[in-house]
Structure 1
Amino acid sequence: MEQRLTDDEQQVLKTGAFGAVFLVSNADPGVFGMIRESFAASGAFAEASGLVKEALISGSLPRLPRDSALEVEAVVLPALGRAVDILRAKSPADLSAYRDLVITAAEQVARAHRGVTPPEADAIDRIRAALTGPA
């Protein structure tokens, strides 16, 4: 049975999803690449539905650190783990859709400019691990 998410819970899902894209995009930075990558992420997020879509489109964009990749990772990966816990508790039917959406967005961002580089692949692996952590 699906339960409504609180504003804070929606922000966690949003921080995880948008943060994952940001993490991959920053793994191999470049101005022109970032433009292509943002379009790729938008396309993936447009496929969201239900509770996940509501979380991604409501409220403000998440505030992510911009000083270092390690700081971004320290915020994003725990947010992904918390998002999994939230969906497992409140809407288990949406958990797989959230995981798939985040991984798809991250992969599309990585492929959007010059193909997937090793740093981007490493970022995707860390995202995948955060999403599939302890069951």
Structure 2
Amino acid sequence: MTAYTESEGQTLRTAVFGAMVLVSTADPGSVDEESYAGIRAMSLLPDDLRAVIAAAPPSLPQGSASDVETGVLAALKDAVGIVDAHDPREVPVFRGAVTEMVRSVAGADGEVAVAEKEMVARIVEALS
């Protein structure tokens, strides 16, 4: 199992949970359905990453909606670097899992709004 520092773990939590929050708030829908969809998709993460992400509550950036988005997108970019530094083979798995999480959140209510599609695209871009 890969050992992550607390700081790295916090960045990973901010990235993963923050990405789901960004999509969920892009076009508010059923919060329960969206939350469950995102949590179910977390099972796609490798065990060590899932354990780090579940180890503590996430901390989202503070400020305006724009500040939160900027902070989460930066955390996503940093998270890819963190995963790459620990195990480059897990980078595509991490990217794929987060992408599936946000797509699941976007489609949880059976419909994907334009604002959700746009947010998913920004998240996928931050992961690349």
Structure 2 alignment gaps of length 5 or more: none
Cα offset, 1:20, TM superposition: 0.3
Post-superposition Cα deviations, 1:92-134, rounded to whole Å, max 9, x if no partner, equal 12111111111101000000114110000000000000000xx
Structure 2 residue 105 is matched with structure 1 residue 102: no
Residue of structure 2 in register with 1:93 after alignment: 89
Structure 1 segments of 4+ aligned residues over 6 angstroms from their partners: none
Q: TM-score, normalised by structure 2?
A: 0.91
One-letter amino acid of the structure 1 residue matched with residue 119 of structure 2? A
Structure 2 residue 69 is matched with structure 1 residue 70: no
- Structure 1 residues 89 and 68 mapped into 2: Cα distance closer, same or farther (>3 Å)? same
Q: TM-score, normalised by structure 1?
A: 0.87
Structure 2 residue 9 is matched with structure 1 residue 10: yes
Name the CA distance, whole Å, in 1 between partners of 2:36 and 2:87. 28
Aligned-pair identity (%): 36
- Structure 1 residues 5 and 65 mapped into 2: Cα distance closer, same or farther (>3 Å)? closer
Structure 2 residue 76 is matched with structure 1 residue 80: yes
1:34 is matched with which residue: 27, 31, 35? 31
Structure 1 alignment gaps of length 5 or more: none
Name the CA distance, whole Å, in 2 between partners of 1:74 and 1:61. 20
